[in-house]
A and B are shown apart, each in its own frame.
Chain A
Amino acid sequence: QVQLVQSGAEVKKPGASVKVSCKASGYTFTSYDINWVRQATGQGLEWMGWMNPNSGNTGYAQKFQGRVTMTRNTSISTAYMELSSLRSEDTAVYYCARGALLQAWFDPWGQGTLVTVSS
């Protein structure tokens, strides 16, 4: 079945960077975009951006431009999201989700990765 499995929880200090992985299985990795969405505790969903695993092209939400980098390794069907200059407000669960270009279609989602930013 189509599945996205993410890396485990992270604890980082303010100013550091975090890199979350998302391993795809059950479909052709290069045929669909990978999107990243985050959710702070008790809050709503916030879209961060997309990456096309075939071309490597990316599109980032304005809020995260300059701080986020989305990459992939097609040989192991894995996407990565790196967020730099972390601050306490970045504490959230980060989800990857399979998507399609210029649409808000996300299916399925990864299980989520909790990133805690604390001194």
Chain B
Amino acid sequence: QSVLTQPPSASGTPGQRVTISCSGSSSNIGSNYVYWYQQLPGTAPKLLIYRNNQRPSGVPDRFSGSKSGTSASLAISGLRSEDEADYYCAAWDDSLSADVVFGGGTKLTVL
């Protein structure tokens, strides 16, 4: 069971806007930055959003991130077929174990 909670699946049609949620606690999302990763089938994960809402160069502005309290969200607007992938949220956790924690991942299907 993952420390950060994500819905296991999400879907949308081309052009739609979809959001993926990520719920945590005061020791992780509540006190640290949230990061989002995209994993296309058969490939390594790729950084999609850093420090809650920043996009690395090369990531389309269709992707956006937000954080409020102990929850975060990833929004994808103008959905495209190539967005079909697994998406993971992650954050540092300040608890005794001092770990990086991931969400369980959300499989996005473009219908």
Contacts and interface: CB of A to CB of B under 8 A. Distances in A.
A104 B44 contact: no
Contacts of B92: 102-104
A103 B97 contact: no
Contact of A59 (B2, B33, B91, B98): B98
Given A61-B97, A104-B35, A95 B91 contact: no
Contacts of A107: 47, 50, 56
Give chain B's interface residue range (CB within 8 Å of chain A): 20 to 34
B35 A44 contact: no
B100 A44 contact: no
Interface stretch (B9-17, B60-68, B102-110): B102-110
Interface in A56-75: 59, 61-62
Given A104-B92, A106-B35, A47 B99 contact: yes
B32 interface: yes
Interface residues of A, number: 22
Nearest to B99: A61
Contacts of B97: 61-62
B47 A44 contact: no
B47 A103 contact: no
B47 A47 contact: no
A47 B44 CA distance: 14
Contact of B102 (A44, A95, A109): A44
Given A44-B2, A104-B35, A109 B45 contact: yes
Contact of B47 (A46, A61, A106): A106
Interface in A65-119: 95, 97, 102-112
Contacts of B50: 105, 107
26 contacts: A35-B100, A44-B103, A44-B104, A45-B88, A45-B102, A45-B105, A47-B100, A47-B101, A47-B102, A59-B98, A95-B44, A95-B45, A102-B32, A104-B32, A104-B35, A104-B90, A104-B91, A104-B92, A104-B101, A105-B47, A105-B51, A106-B47, A107-B47, A108-B47, A109-B44, A110-B44
Nearest to B42: A112
Contacts of A103: 32-33, 35, 92
